[in-house]
Structure 1
Amino acid sequence: MDKIQVMIVDDSAVVRNTLQDIVSAAPDMEVAAVAQDPYVAAEKLRRVVPDVIILDVEMPRMDGITFLKKLMKQHPIPVIVCSSLVQEGSQTLMNALEAGAVDIVTKPQLGTKQFLEESSVLLTDSIRAAAVAKPRAVTPRPSSQARQKLTADAILSKPKVTRSAMAETTEKVIVIGASTGGTEAIRAVLEVMPLDSPGIVIVQHMPPGFTRSFAERLDSLCAITVKEARNGDYVLRGQALIAPGNAHMLLKRSGHRYYVELKEGPLVSRHRPSVDVLFRSAAKYAGKNIAAAILTGMGADGADGMVELRQAGAWTCAQDEATSVVYGMPKEAVARGGTTREYPLETIAANLLKAAN
C-alpha cells in the first residue's frame, strides 16, 4: 500500500523538524514536502499534491486560516491545523474547522518522553483519519439567523433549572461519542434538540483548551444549554456537557441524579478523553436509561463501550457511512455488535429523542 504523503507548513524550523521526525517514524506515511509559510507551500503544491497537509496558524506573510480558505476553494486537500494556540486563540481554531480543516492538534513540545510519545500517537492517528476523510463543501452559516436564534433563545427559551428540581425528572441520558468530523456532526445533532431534551453527555476528541470555545459556539447556536463539563456537574434536562480536552469523563449516579466525573490518566483507546471511558461508565451506572450514538471518526474508540451499553440494555445507534466524514468508529461499533442501527446524520437527533422517550 502506498504511504500517506504529508506536507508540513510551519514557520518554526524546530517544529518542522519535530513533525518530520514523527511522520517519518510512522511506517505508513512519509513527508512529501515542507514549507515555512503558505507562499512557499503554494509553490510546492504546483509540483507535489500531498494526501494531507499539517498547517500552522500563525505564520509570516499569510496566516494559516487565510491559506486554508484559499486552498479549500481552489484545491481541497485534507488539512490538520497544528497550533500552539490554546485559550486565547481557540476561537480562531474553531473558525479553522468551519473553514474546512479536518482536525486540530496541538504542537508537540520537547517535554517529557511520555508527552512526546502521546503527541506522536495523536498526530499520526489524526493524519490517518485525514487521509481517508471525505472532502466536504464548506457553506457559510447565515449569521443573521444565528443571531436571531440566539436572541430568542436567550430571552424566551433558556430558563434556569435548579438541581433540586432535576432530582425527580432526570430519567434518561443521551451519550454521544465522535472524533474526526465530529464538531459539525455534533452541531447538527444538538441544534435540533428541544429545550426539554434529556441531559446529554458528549466526548469529542479535541486537544485541551479548545473544548470551551467549541461548547460556547454550540451554546450560541442551540436552544439547549451547551457547556464544557466540570468535575461534579449534574446532568440536567436541556443541557449538554462536553468533556474537556485531556481529561476522561465518566457518567456516575448519586441517588436519582446523574453527574459527571473528570479524571486524569493514560490514553484509553489511544485517546484522552476516550469515548470508551464514557460509554463503559454509562453502561455501569445508567444501563437501560441510556440512548447512545457514535458519530464520525477514525479508529475504534467507543466500539467496545457501545457493546457494553447494548448488553446493559441501552438503546444504541451509529452514524451511517454516507454521512460520516470518516466511517471508522461507527463501522467498528456495528461490526462488534454494539448496535444494529445506522442512521443518516440528519435523523440521529430525532431517533435519540424517540428512544429516550
Structure 2
Amino acid sequence: MSNKIKVMIVDDSALVRQVVSQAISRDPGIEVIGTAQDPVFALAKLNSLAPDVLVVDIEMPRMDGLTFLKRIMAERPTPVIICSSLAEKGAQVTMEALSAGAVAIITKPKMGLKNFLEDASNDIVQAIKAAARANVRALGRAVSPAAVAADVRPKLSADAVIAPASAHQGAGMYGTTDRIVAIGTSTGGTQALEAVLTRLPAVSPGIVIVQHMPERFTAMFAERLNGLCKIEVREARHGDRVIPGRALIAPGGKHMMLARSGAQYTVEVVDGPLVNRHRPSVDVLFRSCAKFAGRNALGVIMTGMGDDGARGLKEMREAGARTVAEDESTCVVFGMPKEAIRLGGVDEILPLDRIPAAILQSARG
C-alpha cells in the first residue's frame, strides 16, 4: 500500500489545477488523486477518493471555498490548505478560513499565476506535508502516514539574531516583579490562540506571541482577536510596551524580541535572517525572554510543525521561567511541543483548555 500523501485540488481555474498538480507531483511523497472545478464536484468525489489533504480556492462557482471548508470540518474533517488570490490582500475571508480550520494559506497573485505557482511549488509541497500530519480530530472539533522530506534551505539558530543570555541575565534579577507570558505556535495556532486568549479576563499578564504567519495576515489576525477578547490584542510595533491586559503579536516577516527599558518591558521588531526557516521565529522571542525576563516569565509552546521554539523554551526554563507545552491530544500538529518536551524544556504538559488557567496562575507568581 502506498504511503504517499493523497491530495485533491479544488479550483475553478483549469490552469491552477494543472500547474499545481504538476508541481507537487514531482515530489515522490505526494500523489494528486483528483481535481474538481468547484466544491459541489469535490463533495461528490470525497468519499470515493478519501484525500489526506485538500488544496482549495476561495472564490468558486456554486459554493465558495469558505462554505466548503466549514462543511468539510463538520462532516469529514480533512486538512485544508487555502490557495487564493484573496490572500494577497489579507482579506477578512482568509482570516475566517483560518478560524474555520484551514491549516495553511498560500497566496497566489492574479497576474503571472503560472510562474508564481511554479516558483512557489516548494512552499506548497511543505504546506501539504505539514497538513498531512495534522490532528484531524483537533481540526474538526487518522491521516495516512507519509514520509516528510527535509527542507533544503539552511537552518539557522537564534544565534543569527540574538546572543544567548549570560548567567546574570538568566537569573531574571531586574528589580521588577512584572510578569510576562511568551507564546509560540504555528500550524493550527490561529485556532489555539483564539481558544486561549478569548478565555482571559481583562486583567491578565502582558503577553508576547509569535504565530508563524505571512506578512499582511498578522495585523488582520490581531484585529480579529481584539474584537473577540477582553484583553487588547494588536500587531506589535517597535518599542511597544508589554503591559497587563495587552497581547502583542509579532508581525509577519519580522522577528520580535522582548527588551527592557528601565523597569518596563518593551518589544523590538527587527529584520534578520530566517531562524529555523521562520521569520518571526519562536526561538528568537523565547531567547529574548530568557535574557530579559528570566523567572518573571511563563513560556508556552503550542501546536505547530517542526521544532522552532523548542530550544528557546529550554533556555527560558534554565533562566528560571515556568514552561508549558500543549498536550498532544489537543494539538493540530504535535511537532513543536513534542520537540520541546524531548529536549527537557517543559515543566508541565497541558491540554489547550487548561492553558488559560496556567497563564493566570503565572500572574500570581
Which TM-score band applies after superposition, normalised by the shorter structure?
0.7 to 0.9
2:228 paired with 1:221: yes
Rounded to whole Å, the distance in 2 between the matches of 1:243 and 1:84 is 24
Q: CA deviation at 1:137?
A: 6.9
Query: Which residue of structure 2 aligns with residue 66 of structure 1?
Result: 67
2:106 paired with 1:105: yes
Query: Which residue of structure 1 aligns with residue 55 of structure 2?
Result: 54
Query: Which residue of structure 1 aligns with residue 76 of structure 2?
Result: 75
SS of the residue corresponding to residue 74 of structure 2 reads helix
Q: CA deviation at 1:331?
A: 0.6
Rounded to whole Å, the distance in 2 between the matches of 1:110 and 1:341 is 48
Q: CA deviation at 1:2?
A: 0.5
Q: TM-score, normalised by structure 2?
A: 0.80
Contact 1:86 1:208 in 2 (8 A): no
Matches within 5 A, 1:282-297: 282-297=289-304
Matches within 5 A, 1:2-151: 2-86=3-87, 90-107=91-108, 119-135=120-136, 136=138
Match for residue 321 of structure 1 among 328, 341, 345: 328
Contact 2:77 2:140 in 1 (8 A): no
Q: Name the aligned partner's letter for residue 5 of structure 1.
A: K
Rounded to whole Å, the distance in 1 between the matches of 2:75 and 2:9 is 19
Change (3 A) 1:304 1:68: same
2:152 paired with 1:181: no
Rounded to whole Å, the distance in 1 between the matches of 2:234 and 2:44 is 42
Rounded to whole Å, the distance in 2 between the matches of 1:232 and 1:56 is 38
Rounded to whole Å, the distance in 2 between the matches of 1:355 and 1:195 is 15
Rounded to whole Å, the distance in 2 between the matches of 1:169 and 1:236 is 13
Contact 1:170 1:237 in 2 (8 A): no
Matches within 5 A, 1:187-202: 187-202=194-209
Contact 1:170 1:198 in 2 (8 A): no
Q: Pick which of 53-62 and 22-31 moved more.
A: 22-31
Rounded to whole Å, the distance in 2 between the matches of 1:221 and 1:123 is 31
2:360 paired with 1:353: yes
SS of the residue corresponding to residue 93 of structure 1 reads helix
2:313 paired with 1:306: yes
Q: Name the aligned partner's letter for residue 28 of structure 1.
A: G
Question: What is the alpha-carbon root mean square deviation over aligned residues?
Answer: 2.8
Change (3 A) 1:76 1:346: closer
Q: CA deviation at 1:247?
A: 2.0
Contact 2:202 2:245 in 1 (8 A): yes
Change (3 A) 1:300 1:115: farther
2:274 paired with 1:267: yes
Query: Which residue of structure 1 aligns with residue 237 of structure 2?
Result: 230
Change (3 A) 1:6 1:287: same
Question: Number of matched residues?
Answer: 328
SS of the residue corresponding to residue 63 of structure 2 reads coil
Query: Which residue of structure 2 aligns with residue 256 of structure 1?
Result: 263
Rounded to whole Å, the distance in 1 between the matches of 2:247 and 2:215 is 18
Rounded to whole Å, the distance in 2 between the matches of 1:110 and 1:312 is 49
Q: CA deviation at 1:178?
A: 0.9
Q: CA deviation at 1:181?
A: 1.6
Change (3 A) 1:250 1:25: farther
Query: Which residue of structure 1 aligns with residue 339 of structure 2?
Result: 332
**Which string of whole-angstrom CA distances, capped at 9 and with x for unpartnered residues, describes residues 208-255 of structure 1?**
222222212211221110111122212121100111222222222222
Rounded to whole Å, the distance in 2 between the matches of 1:285 and 1:116 is 43
Rounded to whole Å, the distance in 2 between the matches of 1:309 and 1:137 is 30
Change (3 A) 1:341 1:46: closer
Change (3 A) 1:221 1:124: same
Contact 1:69 1:99 in 2 (8 A): yes
